[in-house]
Amino acid sequence: MSRTVFVLNGPNLNLLGKREPEVYGRETLADVEALCRKTAAAHDLAIAFRQTNREYELIDWIQEAREVAAAIVINPAGYSHTSVALRDALAAFDGPVVEVHISNIHKREPFRHHSYVSAVADGVIAGCGFHGYALALERVAALLAAKAQ
Region of 31-39, 61-69, 98-106, 138-146 interacting with ligand DHK (CB under 6 A): 98-106
Asked if 87 and 115 touch (Cβ cutoff 8 Å), the reply is no
Q: How far is the CB of 65 from ligand DHK (least distance, A)?
A: 20
Question: CA 62, CA 8: separation in Å to the nearest integer?
Answer: 9
Asked if 83 is part of the footprint of ligand DHK (rule: CB under 6 A), the reply reads no
78 binds ligand DHK (CB under 6 A): yes
Among 55, 101, 117, 141, binds ligand DHK (CB under 6 A): 101
**Which positions are catalytic?**
24, 101
Taken as a whole, the chain contains a residue count of 149
Q: With binding defined as CB under 6 A, does residue 103 bind ligand DHK?
A: yes
**25 is a site residue for ligand DHK (CB under 6 A):** no
**Binding span for ligand DHK by CB under 6 A among 45-53, 64-72, 73-81, 135-143:** 73-81
Strands 46-51 and 123-126: unpaired
CB 98, CB 122: distance < 8 Å: yes
The count of other CB atoms within 10 Å of the CB of residue 141 is: 21
CA 74 – CA 51 distance, rounded (Å): 10
List residues near ligand DHK by CB under 6 A.
12, 75, 77-78, 80, 101-103, 105, 112
